[in-house]
Amino acid sequence: MADHGVATRAPESDAHESATPGESSDERGPAMSEHCTTDRPTPSGETPRGEIRLLGGIDIYLTKPESYPSNPSKLLLLLTGGTGLKSTNNQIQADKFASEGYVVVMPDLFDGDPAPNSAAVPESETLVTSFLDTFKLKAAETAKSFLLDMWMARHAEEKVMPILEKVIHACKGEFADAVGNGGGIYAVGYCIGGRYVLLLAGERIDSHTSWTGAQKQPDEEAGEGQGPTKKGPYIKAGALAHATLVSPEDFLGLKSPVSLVCVEHDPVFPDEIRIAGEDAMSKSNLEHEVQVYPGVPHGFAVVGDYDDVNIKEAQLTAHEQMLKWLNEH
């Protein structure tokens, strides 16, 4: 289902439309938004209250309800965009879920290497007055695209999924009470992290090939034979906002119910991919919901300050949508 009345068009929604007039999205380089790699200003007066520590050999941000472990809680993975583990806004986002009764584990998906800052050039600097100014601006944009390409190559699925598998295994040990209380692990994801919610919600064929492509030896004690085995789903339910780098194939094999927060006419999560995903989920009878938010920029659901009241309200609505889905599953 889609809701086209959540917000109205605002000037800040143009922040992600950084292409030169006449330039297509395919010509802009990688399918990444500035909002995936750059934080908005942190809302005044808000500071993180969790801690960064190791879990399963992976750096995580851990935040818990004040009443935990006295009162039962559930275990939630929060998967970030390119701004990563040390982003103050991401940490505050995790705290918001913790205040609602979740033990939140936010893993460092990028092994200490967040995306290069690709903040949009301030408007005052885009008023070029000469061919040389135009050339310099284009060169800077090309350099940003190149850095993002290199960064994405360093943090492909083959690198990120093993990190998640380690964290999930460790969560089942250290936070067995929370995992058991929720009947499994829940997950929310934003931007790049949104795609990994889909991957964790799916059932995949494991042909005994590691994520790096190396052939693995079957574990005879675990009952593994020579043929392919199934892996996943890893989560009980998931919610994702303005996902990035998603392909239609990522919706195949989904087994866990998912809720999607989408941006209308999102250049990095195009309508055709969203529609293909909705069709795939409907055909497989997967429980799901899709809400489309007009007039907001990609990345709007992550904690961050906006001047436009409509974007602020949409941000709250998106959080409530994701939280309600988790609570109901």
329 residues of the chain, pLDDT tens digit each:
444 333 333 333 333 333 333 333 343 334 566 667 788 999 888 999 999 999 999 999 999 999 999 999 999 999 999 899 999 999 999 999 999 999 999 999 998 888 887 333 333 344 445 656 555 555 555 555 666 678 777 868 999 999 999 999 999 999 999 999 999 999 999 999 999 999 999 998 875 444 444 445 555 544 555 667 889 999 999 999 999 999 999 999 999 999 999 999 999 999 999 999 999 999 999 999 999 999 999 999 999 999 999 999 999 999 999 999 999 99
Q: How far apart are CA 288 and CA 258, in angstroms?
A: 5
Residue 135's pLDDT is what? 53
**Any idea which residue has 């929310």 for tokens?**
188
Residues 6 or more apart from 13 whose CB is under 8 A from it?
295, 296, 297, 311
- Kindly tell me the sign of the dihedral angle through the C-alpha atoms of 174, 178, 184, 189: negative
Query: Which one is the CATH code of 11-214+227-328: 3.40.50.1820, 3.30.565.10, 1.10.10.10, 3.40.30.10?
Result: 3.40.50.1820
SS3 content of the chain, % helix, strand, coil (to 5): 40, 15, 45
pLDDT given for residue 7 in this prediction: 36
Place of tokens 């284009």: 138
324: enclosing H helix or E strand: helix 309-328
Q: What is the pLDDT of residue 293?
A: 98
Q: Which of 173, 248, 161, 233 is nearest to 203 (CA)?
A: 233
How far apart (Å, rounded) are the C-alpha atoms in residues 63 and 67? 12
- Orientation of helix 157-174 relative to helix 192-200, angle to 10°: 60
Rounded-to-integer distance, Cα 57 and Cα 156, Å: 19
pLDDT of residue 30: 40
C-alpha angle 102-86-157 in degrees, rounded to nearest 5: 80
pLDDT at 217: 55
Query: What pLDDT is recorded for position 97?
Result: 98
Listing from the earlier edge strand, what are the strands of the sheet with 288-293? 51-55, 58-63, 102-107, 74-79, 185-190, 237-241, 258-263, 288-293
User: What's the confidence (pLDDT) of residue 130?
Assistant: 61
pLDDT at 285: 97
Residue 53: C-alpha distances to residues 58, 159, 177, 262, 325 (Å): 8, 20, 20, 32, 28
Identity of the amino acid at 3: D
Instruction: Give the list of residues 6+ apart from residue 57 with CB closer than 8 angstroms, or none.
Output: 166, 170
- Burial grade of 63 (CB within 10 A; 0-12, 13-18, 19 or more): buried
- DSSP one-letter string for 255-313: -S-EEEEEETT-TTS-HHHHHHHHHHHHHTT--EEEEEETT--TTTTSS---S-HHHHH
What's the confidence (pLDDT) of residue 123? 37
